[in-house]
Structure 1
């Protein structure tokens, strides 16, 4: 019946609105999937709104294969920019630009669920065009790599040389390895452990 579809859509919309309201009230932000400009915009907007709403800690849940580095930079910088404490909580996998966002929180505010895996690797980019364009792009990738090494060195306590060596290729870490490396503060299995 035509009315049934309309009623179902209204109920679904109401439930989505209610879930969004509860998510905001609980000061949670969810980052899943590819890191891109749209996601960065939504996350930054929510972080700013939550910061305006009060000083209680904000939880950022991350399960991402990574994505666009500059989009990850935007979220990373916004986490550091706002006033409230931000806790990052990894789940599933925290990879590439997702790991960049994850380390924006202070180490004691970096958590993950038991089955999380982490992937670090150097930023990658496609290079093409004229010789001069290729030279410019290669230089920008070099600058990005140096910045990446510095950020992860500061976040983990590892030297930039070690970060460069470890991330020259895909560098996977389980939870125990991530703690030893300085990437992760604590593995949790319950939201109560954040209190």
Structure 2
């Protein structure tokens, strides 16, 4: 009689390579998500707004420091003011921050047919809108250009107060359509 090995159909051993792969892939996917989140929010405890990416150095930008110094500690229900160069953030419990960026470039999409919103008496151009987060505006009839991110449910008080500050402290200028 000879000894021959007969394969047992009940014996389903997995190879060590397959086991290692089954463990490594989910671990790498989870590590990738953690790394992405860390990079996205590194150095910032606040969510990014569209105006964070707006280029500065527009006309009259040299007057931003003086204008920012005149901004109040509180706008509407937003307080806890922080300043980072030409960007000012006010916080409110349970809300994204209200953000102002001074000295931005003229909005490229501003045209003679653009719809403008007049608030106390500043003309604002809507540059970005996120249904679930808020709206970004740029004041277009004074220099320097001022961009403002107004988070959802902020109310009218912050932008009304900012309009008055712009009217009182910045130079009125004609609309520039980039002709």
TM tier, shorter chain? under 0.3
Q: Which is richer in strand? A: 2
**TM-score, length-scaled by structure 2:** 0.27
**TM-score, length-scaled by structure 1:** 0.26
Q: Which is richer in helix? A: 1
